[in-house]
Amino acid sequence: MVLRLSKLFLRTLREDPADAEVASHRLLVRAGYIRRAAPGIYTWLPLGLSVLRKVEQVIREEMTAIGAQEVHFPALLPKEPYEATNRWTEYGEGIFRLKDRKGNDYLLAPTHEEMFTLLVKDLYSSYKDLPLSIYQIQNKYRDEARPRAGLLRGREFIMKDSYSFDVDDAGLDDSYAAHRGAYLKIFERLGLEVIPVAATAGAMGGSKSEEFLHPTEIGEDTFVRSAGGYAANVEAVTTVVPADIDFSNAPAAEVRDTPDTPTIETLVDAANVLVPRAEADGGPWTAADTLKNVVLAVTLPTGERQLVVIGLPGDRGVDLKRVEANIGSFLPIAGEITLEAANDEDLKKQPLIVKGYLGPGMSLNAPLLGTEAAAKMLYLVDPRVVSGSAWVTGANEAGKHVFGLVAGRDFGWDGVIECTDVRAGDEAPDGSGPLETARGIEMGHIFQLGRKYAAALDLKVLDQNGKQVVVTMGSYGVGVTRAVAALAESNHDDKGLVWPRAVAPADVHVVAVGRGEEIFAAAEKLSLELEAAGLDVIYDDRPKVSPGVKFGDAELVGVPTILAVGRGLVDGVVEIKDRRSGNAENVAVDKAVDYVVNAVRNS
Ligand code: ATP
Ligand code: MG
C-alpha cells in the first residue's frame, strides 16, 4: 500500500496540545494519530488506526495460538446480568448508565464477565464442551475519576478480554497458564517490556491474579521487586510476619502521664524522658515501639459512611490503596468504596475518640464506650501486631499513654490487614531479598475468577458422572489502546515518534525533496516498487512543501525507515535513514528497494 501525503487525511501540528501531560499523548496528537473528542475519549485518524490494527493483529494471532476464539459483544447492555452479580451496584460511579425510551436501565459495559458467562450458559451444557476460551477486542466504557495521559487512561478504550471456562480447578490452572504465556508473547512481539507482578483481585473477586506492568516513571502503579525475582503490585505485597511472642511473663500494662504528646514524635521524645527504657530491655524507645491508631472513613457502595480504626507500628504510615485492596472481606457489602482519613465531622459522631491519644480497646468493645452514639468501629491491625507483642499506645485519655500493652492479652482486634506503606529495603515475602520500588503502567491483567460469576449466573454443566457442577472461570484483559500509548511513550525522541517495526503505520516513509520533476518521478517509482515488494509505504509527494517541513513530519510520524529522494539523484543515489539510530546512508537508486526490504526483514 502507498499512502500519499498529498491525499492522506492528516494534519501534523507544530504545537503541543494544551492538555497533554505525557509524551505519548503529545506526540500522538501532534503527529496526527488521534484527536480528542471529549475528556478521555478519542477519535482515531488513519495513521492511528493503522497502528491500532497492528497491535490488535498481534493479539489475535497469539489468542488463536492458544485456541481462543473471537466473538463480539455489544457495548450497550441491559442492567439485569450486572445486577445478578451485584456489579450494577459495586461499580458505583465508575460506569456509564443510561435508560431506553421505556425507562429500562442499561449500561455501557466496563468489562464483560456477565455476558460471556450467560452466552456459554445459553449454548453449552456438558463437560465435553469444555475447556473453552473465547475473547473479543472491543470498546469498554468506564467513567474514570481521572481520565489522564491521553489513551493511557481513557473513558472509552479498547480492551482485548478473554474468558476461560473449565470444569475443574486443574483445568482453570491450565487455561490461566496458557493465557499467561500468550501475554508474554504478545508483549514480546510488540517490543513492550512487561513484568508480571502478583496482584490483588480488586472488584473482580476470585483468587490468583497477576498484572503485566510496563515499567515507566509515568506509570500510576507502584510495584516492588527483589533481586531474587519477586515482583508484586504494592497492594499485593504481604508482610513478613514476626513469630508470636510468649507473654506469660510480660509485666502488666501501665498508664502514664505523657502530657502534650499527640504525635508519635512527641510521644517517643517524652517516653524517653519520662519512662526511659534500659539497654537490656531494648534501649531508648523508638517509633517502632508505639502502636499508632488511625481512624479512616469508608464510604460503602450504598453511600453509607463507616469508621474503621487501623492499628500499626508508629514508624509506618497507612497506605490507603493497600487498605482499600484488602479491606473488602471486613465490610458488610462488596463493591467500590472510597477511603479517606476520618474528618472532624466523622470524629464528632464518636465523642469518646480522644484525638492523638487513641488506643485499642476503644474501638473494640462497644460496651466500653458506654454510649449508643459511639457505635462499634471495626478495629484492624497490621500483621506485625502479633500475639504477645507489647506496645506504647494511646490510653484513650488526653495526655496519657499506656506502656506494655500486650496484643492478645490486653487487647484484641477484628482482623489483620495489609495496610502499611511498603518501603524499599523491606524483605520480600518469599525471602528473595530486600525490595526496591518502581513505577509501571498496567498493560494486562489475568485473573482466576473461580466460580463467582458462574455461581451467580447459574452456569453449570454435567460432569463425567452426570452431576451438575458449577463451571470455573478465568478472565484476562489487555489494554489495546493503552498499548498504543505505551508503545509511543517508550519509543520516541525529541523529534517525534520512533515506532518499532511490528506496529509502525508503514515500513518506509519516502520523501521527495526538491522541485525537479525527475525527483518526483523517481520517488513515485521507488514507492511503487517498494509496494510491489510487499511493503507499506508512506510517500510524501506534496509538491510545494519545504524539505524542512517534510523531514520534520517524517520524524514526527515515526516510520522506522526514511528514504529521501533529492539532490543525490543526479549522482544516482538516494539517502536511506534509520529513524531510531539516525544513521543515514547513500544508496544507489537501483539498490534502494533491496536495501529497504532487507532493513525491514532484519529488524
Ligand atoms: P487500572 O488499574 O489501570 O485502572 P484496571 O485494573 O481497572 O486498570 P482491568 O479491569 O484489569 O483494568 O482491565 C484490563 C486492562 O484494560 C488493564 O490491564 C488495562 O491495560 C486496560 N485498561 C483498564 N482501564 C483502562 C482505561 N481507563 N484506559 C485504557 N486502558 C484501560
Ligand atoms: Mg486490572
**Residue 527 belongs to a domain with what CATH number?**
3.40.50.800
Q: How far is CA 175 from CA 64, 422, 450, in A?
A: 13, 32, 12
| Domain shared by 394 and 475, yes or no | no
pLDDT at 542: 95
Question: What is the per-residue pLDDT for 181?
Answer: 97
Tell me: do 66 and 184 sit in the same domain.
yes
Instruction: Provide the sign of the torsion angle of the four alpha carbons 167, 168, 169, 171, taken in this order.
Output: negative
- Nearest residue CA, atom 22 of ligand 1? 479
CATH assignment at residue 385: 3.90.960.10
- Residues of the chain under the 50 pLDDT cut: 203-205, 363-374
- Cα(392)–Cα(287) distance, rounded to whole angstroms? 9
Residue 324 maps to a domain: yes
357 and 457 inside one domain = no
List the Cα angle 343/344/346 in 5-degree steps: 70
Adjacency order of strands within the sheet including 508-512: 2-4, 537-540, 508-512, 561-565, 573-578, 584-588
Cα of 446 vs centre of ligand 2, distance in Å, is 8
Pocket lining: 219 vs ligand 1, CB cutoff 6 Å: no
291 pocket-lining for ligand 1 (C-beta < 6 Å): no
Q: Say if residue 169 is in the same domain as residue 40.
A: yes
Specify whether 155 is located in the same domain as 54. Answer: yes
CA of 120 to the centre of ligand 2 (A): 24
Domain boundary among 459, 488, 517: 488
| Residue having the nearest C-alpha atom to atom 2 of ligand 1 | 442
Domain that holds residue 573: 506-601
For the chain, counts of helices (H) and of strands (E): 15, 32
Same-domain pairing of 373 and 302: yes
Closest ligand 1 atom to 212 CA: 18
Specify the pTM. 0.81
Residue nearest atom 23 of ligand 1, based on CA coordinates: 479
Q: How far apart are CA 176 and CA 190, in angstroms?
A: 21
Ligand 1 pocket residue status of 509, Cβ below 6 Å: no
Question: ∠ at Cα 449 (121, 333), nearest 5°?
Answer: 100
How much distance in Å is there from the Cα of 442 to the middle of ligand 1?
7
Ligand 2 ion: nearby residues, β-carbon < 5 Å? 445
pLDDT of residue 89: 85
**Same domain as 261, residue 226:** no
Q: Output the domain CATH number for residue 217.
A: 3.30.930.10
Same domain, 42 and 92: yes
* Assigned domain for 465 exists: yes
Distance in angstroms (rounded) separating the CA atoms of residues 11 and 33: 9
What is the phi-psi region of residue 354: left when phi exceeds 0, alpha when psi lies from -120 to 50, beta otherwise?
beta
Ligand 1 centroid distance, CA of 348 (Å): 38
Q: Are strands 378-381 and 305-313 parallel, antiparallel or unpaired?
A: parallel
Q: Is residue 538 part of a domain?
A: yes
Crossing angle between the packed helical segments 480-490 and 46-65, to the nearest 10 degrees: 110
Q: Is 199 near ligand 1, meaning CB less than 6 Å away?
A: no
Q: How does strand 390-394 pair with strand 338-341?
A: unpaired
Residue 441 inside a domain? The answer is yes
Q: Nearest residue CA, atom 24 of ligand 1?
A: 153
Task: Report the pLDDT value the prediction gives residue 14, as an integer from 0 to 100.
Answer: 87
Residue at 495 is within a domain:
no
Q: 106 and 185: one domain?
A: yes
Phi and psi at 487, nearest 5°, equal -65, -40
Question: Residues with Cβ < 8 Å from 177, sequence gap 6 or more?
Answer: none
Residue 594 pLDDT: 96
Contacts of 69 (CB under 8 A, 6+ apart): 133, 134, 135
Residue 268 sits in the same domain as residue 192: no
CA-nearest of 173, 179, 211, 168 to 451 is 168
Residue 248 inside a domain? The answer is: no
13 falls within a domain: no
Verify that 407 and 511 share a domain, yes or no: no
Query: Is the Cβ–Cβ distance between 384 and 241 less than 8 Å?
Result: yes
pLDDT at res. 36: 93
**Number of folded domains in the chain?**
3
Residue 146: per-residue pLDDT: 83
Q: Check residue 201 and give its pLDDT.
A: 60
What is the number of the ligand 1 atom nearest to the C-alpha of 155? 27
Q: What is the pLDDT of residue 538?
A: 97
Query: Tell me, what's the pLDDT at 368?
Result: 34
Residue with CA nearest ligand 1 atom 3: 442
Distance 27 CA to ligand 2 centre (A): 26
* Neighbouring-strand partners of residue 139: 158
Query: Is the CB of 154 within 6 Å of ligand 1?
Result: yes
Task: Measure the CA–CA gap between 575 and 526, rounded to whole angstroms.
Answer: 12
Do 299 and 337 form a contact (C-beta atoms < 8 A)? yes
Identify the three-state secondary structure at position 399: coil
Do 350 and 377 contact (CB within 8 A), yes or no?
Answer: yes
Whether 144 lines ligand 1, by a CB cut-off of 6 Å, is yes
Q: Is residue 110 part of a domain?
A: yes
Residue 442 CB less than 6 A away from ligand 1 = yes
pLDDT of residue 167: 95
Question: Are the beta carbons of 512 and 541 closer than 8 angstroms?
Answer: yes
* Same domain flag for 483 and 510: no
